Amino acid sequence: MRVATWNINSIGARLPKLLEWLERAAPDAVCLQELKSTPEAYPLKELEEAGYTSAVNAGGRWNGVAILSKVGLDDVTVGLTPGPGFPEADGPHEARAISATCGGVRLWSVYVPNGREVDNPHYAYKLEWLGALRAAVAADAAGPRPFAVLGDFNVAPTDKDVWDISLFGENSTHVTQAERDAVTALEGVGLREVMPRALKYDVPFTYWDYRELGFPKNKGMRIDLVYGNAPFAAAVSDSYVDREARKGKGTSDHAPVVVDLDV
């Protein structure tokens, strides 16, 4: 079974690229983030024609998540439930999480808040959201079936996961210890990171800014992560970042992370 996660950065704008990639990579299930789509504008028909059913949590604006599957889509849960409640920022219930069971594997697609700057209220919101995520996934993580949280975490786990840590000032998010601790706290509920293997470069970055030739110069970050429970991690046969999907015009600024499972 092949699963993947991809911050698509507008499913409307990237639909041709997404459909092309689905045909080439042939994933069984895909977690998407940053749909930037209303429920009405979501390309349900086009994806069904490509062989994928969808579970969608879309609210327009800049967020939105989905799970695509061609191996079944059961027990869909929208948002961070069960859990202690949903953190709020500009408004309640932002479309940042969705979960479903695909071919016997339980998957969560998450789009963690950016945080903006350390002294911005959205930074505290980001930490609160990650804490709520940990509580929400605890039951799934402890179960016997393969389970994983996949998505854009907006956190680089180590200094090596950014192209030049010296360029990140004291007010920069994505690299603070508090953010990193909030992500690694997922290990406390039985999850572990599935690290993609290096291909062209030593560190498999997943995001490159559109500006200043970020991708050609490999000025990237590794912020799209996969955390799986023990049955999921034991089933992993391969994992990699599909850099080919980032090449060319009209692409997302993220690349898919692909995980192959023997299940």
Task: Give the residue numbers of the binding site.
Answer: 7, 34, 152, 154, 253-254
Residues belonging to the binding site for Mg(2+) are 7, 34, 152, 154, 253-254
**For this structure, is 254 an active site residue?**
yes
Task: Identify the sign of the CA torsion 68, 66, 83, 155.
Answer: positive
**For this structure, is 152 an active site residue?**
yes
CA 252 to chain centre: 13
Residues 208, 212, 215: CA angle, nearest 5 degrees: 30
Phi and psi at residue 185, in whole multiples of 5°? -60, -20
**Cα separation, 254 vs 225, whole angstroms:** 12
Residues 69, 80, 261: CA angle, nearest 5 degrees: 35
Task: Name the H helices within the chain.
Answer: 11-25, 44-49, 121-142, 177-184, 230-235
**Active-site residue among 52, 111, 125, 227?**
111
Residues 194, 242, 19: CA angle, nearest 5 degrees: 120
Q: Is 185 exposed, middle or buried (0-12, 13-18, 19+ CB in 10 A)?
A: middle
CB of 74 within 8 A of CB of 101?
yes
**Cα separation, 86 vs 88, whole angstroms:** 6
CB of 30 within 8 A of CB of 3?
yes
**Active-site residue among 28, 152, 161, 242?**
152
β-strand partners of 77: 99
CB of 179 within 8 A of CB of 127?
yes
**For this structure, is 262 an active site residue?**
no
Q: Any idea which residues carry the catalytic annotation?
A: 111, 152, 254
